[in-house]
Amino acid sequence: MRYSVFTEEHEAVRRAIRRFVDREITPHVEEWEREEYFADWVFPRMGELGFLGLRYPEKYGGAGGDYFMAIVLAEEIARCGAGGLPMAVAVQTDMATPPIMQFGTEEQIKKYLIPALRGEKVACLGITEPNAGSDVASIQTRAVREADHWVINGRKTFITNGVRADFITLVAKTNPDLGYNGVSLFLVDRGTPGFTVTRKLKKLGMRCSDTAELLFEDCRVPAENLLGVENRGFQQIMWELQGERLMGAAGAVAGAQVVFEEALAYARKRIQFGKPLVKFQAVAHKLAEMTTEIEAGRQLVYSTARKFAAGEYPVREISMCKLVTAQMSHRVADVALQIHGGYGCMSEYRVQRAWRDLRLNRIGGGTDEIMKEVIAKTLGL
């Protein structure tokens, strides 16, 4: 189905990404899932093809496209059949790097953003800690200014790309007495003394992406690695989270679409009681509900993306997108698994992976509960 938000240029990029996914990504997914790590060549290859900088300015090596180019990437990369890789790519393109573009100096852009768009440097985003996830203001990682350096101490966990990342966009407390107004962002290079990847985490889903625990012990970071304005990091990361949540919603819709298509194909070929499953009203109605929910989520994402692309800050609509599509995607995956019956629980069928992968959408980037809190606040509750 063609949507008015996409031009022929968008569709040409879509076709290019789909060819890349079909030929170069999907054939390796099973191996990467077993190894719980996708190959290091993926980011450089995507950078070479221009897919990591679709909506970034041409002067920095991007394609100069609009926000819907990022939507196209999210929709097409989801077709690889494993949620971990799209999530890792989204961290690179829409989570760890937008703050550099928005708040960084020219030197920071040259050192971090441009290589990231080329796939020469892998980025990760460091917010969550063992005792602080949704409550960003409660993070304990501290950064203390000493002459021309910041000394950082603390821990981060659940960090996507954390094992392989060349740098981290890090959230740390710089003035605990100021609460929300005492948080800052830093760019920290891998190899900086005191910065250690302590553990690669094993996960229920999203297995082909690497997820790490990180430790900072008297990690000395040059003063020029402060990103943006000191003690304005909370506002900066809240801005970042809006884009992250909207892109997460787009990815959830795309993931739901893929698993729906697989359930539909299975129901058409699976014969029971002498006829295909789709000929049973119980199954046909399930499929009808699934495609309706997916379309509703898609239209909400597109409508909100129009506002975000136009420079608006539609926090309520973005929170609604994140809440609705996250719940919908896992519901669709659950029904798809049910349609597959016992085969849905077998590892050779991708539906079981989608069921595991899509569950994270209701947690990562802001839980269902946090999204409801945000929406409630916009109602004055």
Residue 49's pLDDT is 98
Residue 358 amino acid letter: L
Tell me if 371 sits within 8 A of 319, measured CB to CB: yes
Check 244, 262, 293, 317 and give the catalytic one. Answer: 244
Beta bridge partners of 129: 132
- Tell me the chain's radius of gyration from C-alpha atoms: 21
User: What is the pLDDT, as a whole number, of residue 179?
Assistant: 87
pLDDT at residue 1 in the model = 54
Check the CA dihedral 380-95-305-62 and report its sign. positive
Residues 6+ away with beta carbon under 8 Å from 1:
none
pLDDT given at position 2? 57
Q: What are the tens digits of pLDDT across the range 331-367? A: 999 999 999 999 999 999 999 999 999 999 999 999 9
pLDDT in the model for residue 133? 85
**Is-catalytic flag, 244?**
yes
- Which domains are assigned to the chain? 8-122 (1.10.540.10), 124-231 (2.40.110.10), 234-378 (1.20.140.10)
- For residue 4, what pLDDT is reported? 80
Beta strands in the chain (DSSP E): 123-126, 142-146, 149-160, 167-173, 183-189, 195-200, 211-222, 226-227, 271-272, 275-276
Tens digits of residue pLDDT in 26-49: 999 999 999 999 999 999 999 999
Q: What is the C-alpha separation between 103 and 228, in angstroms, rounded?
A: 5
CB 138 within 8 A of CB 150: no
* pLDDT of amino acid 245: 96
Counting as low any pLDDT under 70, the low residues of the chain are 1-2
pLDDT at 177: 92
Instruction: Judge whether 313 and 44 are in contact, CB under 8 Å.
Output: no
For 339: left if phi > 0, alpha if psi spans -120 to 50, otherwise beta; the answer is alpha
Q: Quick: pLDDT tens for 119-157.
A: 999 999 999 999 988 888 889 999 999 999 999 999 999
Q: pTM of the predicted model, to two decimals?
A: 0.96
